[in-house]
Structure 1
Amino acid sequence: MQYGEEPKGQNAPGAGEEKGAADVTPSPVRGKLTKDAPLDKLVWFKSGGPADWLFEPADLEDLTSFLQGLEEGTPVMAIGLGSNLIIRDGGVPGVVVRLGKPFASVEVRRDNILECGGGAPGILVSSTARDAGIAGMEFLRGIPGTVGGFVRMNGGAYGREVADILVDCDVVFPNGDCVNIPAEDLDYTYRHSRLPEGAIVVAARFQGDPGDPEEIGREMDRIAAEREASQPLRTKTGGSTFKNPDGKKAWQLVDEAGCRGLKMGGAQVSEKHANFLINTGDATSSDIEGLGEEVRRRVSEKTGVALEWEIKRVGRP
C-alpha cells in the first residue's frame, strides 16, 4: 500500500464522537491483551475510563498480525507515556495499543542518524545522541513523551521541532499494513502532521550533526533546569494545554483572561504555568476538559483569540 491510500479499518473516532464498545474477538498473540483495561494509571492526569481492549505487542510482527485479524472498522489508538492526553471518563472504544520495551530501542547509525523505536522516550533519544556526540536533538530532553507521539504531532520545544530532524518513519495502519513514510510526506505544520487517526508510528530515524558530548550535555541540563523552574512537573498534569497562536503565547492569553489558578471540581489551572492544567487529587477527566473549555471561553471573550487544544482528548464523554 502506498501512503495516501485509504487503508481499511481507518475510521477511529475523533474527539467528541461517540461509538459503542467494539466487538473484538481476541486472536492469538504473543504480547499482552487485556479486556476492560484501566487507563487512568497510564496517563499523566491519572483520570479517565478503561479501554475496551489494551494490547501490548511483543514485537512488530505481533502487532501487525493482531491488527490484520481485527474486524474492519474497529477503532485503534496508540498510547505512549500518557502525557499530552485526556482519556474521557467513558473510556476508549476499540483497541488501545501501548508500545512498550520491545519498541523502545535507540541505535546509532552512520552519518549521525539515530534509529528509534516508537516507544522510546525523548530523554533516551537525546541522551543516546549526547553519548554518541550527535548534536541537534537536545530539545527532545524537554518533550515528555515517546517517539511515536512526537513524530505524529510534530512535537517541539526550545526553538526546535521534530520536522527539523526527522528523516522518515515506519507507520502501521489499523488494518496491519506497515508503510515507510519520508518526512516530507507528512506535511508538517505547527503541532500537526497528516497522519490519520489510528496510524501507529513504530519507528523513526532522526538526523543530527557532529557535536561535542560535553556541550550537548550542558544544553540538555539547561533545558531540564528551565523546565523544572517554570513548569508544574511534580503534579498530575498533561503538559502544555493549548497551542500558541501566531505571534502570541497561550499562557499570556490565559493570564490576561484572569484564569491562572481557576478551578473546576478537582481540576485547576496551574499557578506556576498558566498553560498547564493539573489534577489536584480527585479530578475527573470531565473536570479537566471542562476547565479547559471554560478557559477557552474566557480567553475568547477577553481577547478575541480562539485557543486550540494541544492536548489530545479521546474516548466517550
Structure 2
Amino acid sequence: MSAVLSLPETRGKLTADAPLAKLVWFKTGGPAQWLFEPKDIDDLQQFLRDLDPEIAVWPLGLGSNLIIRDGGIKGVVIRLGKAFGGIKADGLTLTCGAGAPGISAASMARDHAIAGMEFLRGIPGTIGGAVRMNAGAYGREMCDILESADIVLRTGELKTIPLAEMGYTYRHSALPDGAVVVSAKLRGQSGDSEIIAAEMKRIGDEREASQPLRTKTGGSTFKNPDGYKAWQLVDEAGCRGLTIGQAQVSEKHCNFLINLGGATSVDIEALGEEVRKRVRAHSGVELQWEIQRVGEIL
C-alpha cells in the first residue's frame, strides 16, 4: 500500500505502512497506509484540522470485535495511547479516557463503591469503542451509564455530546463518521465494593467458562435478533465447528469465530457469511454482523 500522502506536522507518532494484524484480536489483516498516535487531545485536534478533508480517518481501539481486511486500510488509522487512558472518580461519576479498557473502568468503579458498571468487566475493548457502538453485556449497555462523551470531529472541533444526542440503539450510535471519541463521563449508583467485586468475579468466571477467550477471536460475531440468541441460531443451523480455511466457528461458543493459526481475514469474513446463509436457510432469520469489518479486499 503506497504511503504517499501529504500529512500535517504532529507532536505524536506517524508510521507509514503500519502493520495492524498484531493490534487486533484475530491477528489478521493488512497494514494502515498511515498509523497516527497523537500526543494528546490538542495534537489530535490540530492534526485533524490540518489534514486534507479528502483523506479518510479511522479510530482503532483494542482491536476486539473487528476484522481488518487483508488489503489494509487506506488513509489514516488513529490509535489513542496512554495519554487517553486515564480514569478519574468523582462521587458516583467516572471520567474515562477513550483509550481506557472497560475492565479498568469497572475496577475503578469497584474501588470507589460505584455500582452499575460491573458489566464493563465483560467488555473486551476500550471505553471509546464501547461508547461508539453502545457496547453491552450481562443485561446492561453504555446507554445505561453514559452521561456524555467528548469527541473530536473530522474538522478538529472538540465537542461534548450528551446521552440524549448519541442516537443510541442496539449496538449502534449516531456519531458521525471520522469522529474520534476522546473521553466519556459515566454515572453509576452508590454501592458496596465487596458486592461489586463479587459480581465482577461472576462475570469474569462466566466469560472464562463459556467463551473462547484464549484463542485468536473477535468477540461476539453477530447481534442477537429480536427474540433470539445468535449463538443458538448458529448452533441449530449446524454451524458449530464449521471451518473455512483456518477460520472456525468456535465449538465452545457458536457466536465466536476463531483463527486456528493461519486464517486470513478473507477466511474469517467468508465463514461469517456462510454462517449467515445457513442460518437464513434453516430458520429464516437474518443475522446481522456485530463485528465491524473495515479496509480493502485484496
Length-normalised TM-score, structure 1: 0.92
Whether the 8 Å contact between 1:21 and 1:94 is mirrored in structure 2 is no
Equivalent residue for 2:275, pick from 295, 304, 310: 295
1:95 alignment counterpart: 76
Q: Which residues of 2 match residues 117-196 of structure 1 at below 5 A?
A: 117-196=97-176
Specify the alignment match of 2:93 in structure 1. 113
C-alpha separation between the residues in 2 aligned to 1:23 and 1:85? 26
Residues 151-172 of structure 1: per-residue CA shift (max 9 Å, x gap): 0000000000000000000011
**Matched residues in 1 for 2:41 and 2:268: separation?**
34
1:36 counterpart (17, 21, 41): 17
1:201-256: CA deviations, max 9, x gaps?
Answer: 10000001111111100000000000000000000000000000001000000001
Compared with structure 1, are the counterparts of its residues 147 and 117 closer, same or farther at alpha carbon in structure 2 (3 Å cutoff)? same
Match of 1:254 among 199, 213, 234: 234
Paired residue for 2:47? 66
1:199 aligns with 2:174: no
Amino acid at match of 2:223: K
**Equivalents in 1 of 2:176, 2:4: separation in Å?**
22
Q: CA deviation at 1:24?
A: 2.6
1:83 aligned partner, one-letter code: S
Instruction: Give, in whole Å, the separation in 1 of the partners of 2:140 and 2:263.
Output: 33
Aligned partner (choices 36, 43, 58) of residue 55 of structure 1:
36
Deviations 1:251-299 (A, max 9, x none): 0000011000000011000000000000000000000000000000000
Amino acid of the residue matched to residue 60 of structure 2? I
SS at match of 2:235: helix
Structure 1 contact 24–71 (Cα < 8 Å) conserved: no
Q: Which runs of 5+ in 1 are unaligned?
A: 1-19
Deviation of 1:33 after TM superposition, in Å, equals 0.4
Which amino acid in the other structure matches residue 82 of structure 1? Answer: G
The secondary structure found in structure 1 opposite 2:212 is coil
Q: Match of 1:14?
A: none
> What's the offset of the Cα at 1:106?
0.5
Structure 1 moving runs of 4+ over 4 Å: 20-23
Structure-1 residue corresponding to 2:192: 212
Superposition deviation, residue 23 in structure 1 = 4.9
Q: Secondary structure at the match of 2:15?
A: strand
SS at match of 1:66: helix
Give distance in 2, aligned partners of 1:292 and 1:175.
Answer: 35
Q: 2:3, 2:16 within 8 Å by CA — same for their partners in 1?
A: no
Contact kept in structure 2, 1:133 and 1:211, CA below 8 Å: yes
Matching residue's letter, 1:35: A
CA–CA separation in structure 1 for the residues paired with 2:248 and 2:274: 11
Any conservation in 2 of the 1:56–1:98 contact (CA below 8 Å)? yes
Cα distance per residue 1:14-63 (max 9 Å; x no partner):
xxxxxx96753232211110010000000000000000000011100111
Does the residue aligned with 1:281 lie in a helix, a strand or coil? coil
Q: Give yes or no for contact 2:2–2:17 (8 Å, CA) kept in 1.
A: no
Letter in 1 for 2:231: W
Superimposed CA distance per residue, residues 77-120 of structure 1 (whole angstroms, 9 cap, x where no aligned partner): 1011000000000000100000111000000023x000000000
3-state SS, counterpart of residue 196 of structure 1: coil
In the superposition, the TM-score normalised over structure 2's length comes to 0.98
- Which position in structure 2 is the counterpart of 1:226? 206
Amino acid at match of 1:38: P
1:197 shift after superposition = 2.0
2:83 paired with 1:83: no
Q: In the aligned structure 1, how far is the partner of 2:120 from the partner of 2:177?
A: 24
1:95-149 deviations in Å (ceiling 9; x for gaps): 0000111000000023x00000000000000000000111100000000000110
Q: Distance in 1 between matches of 2:58 and 2:163?
A: 21
Question: 1-side partners of 2:139 and 2:149: how far apart?
Answer: 22
Percent of aligned pairs with the same amino acid: 65
Structure 1 residues 22 and 189, CA gap change in structure 2 (3 angstroms)? farther
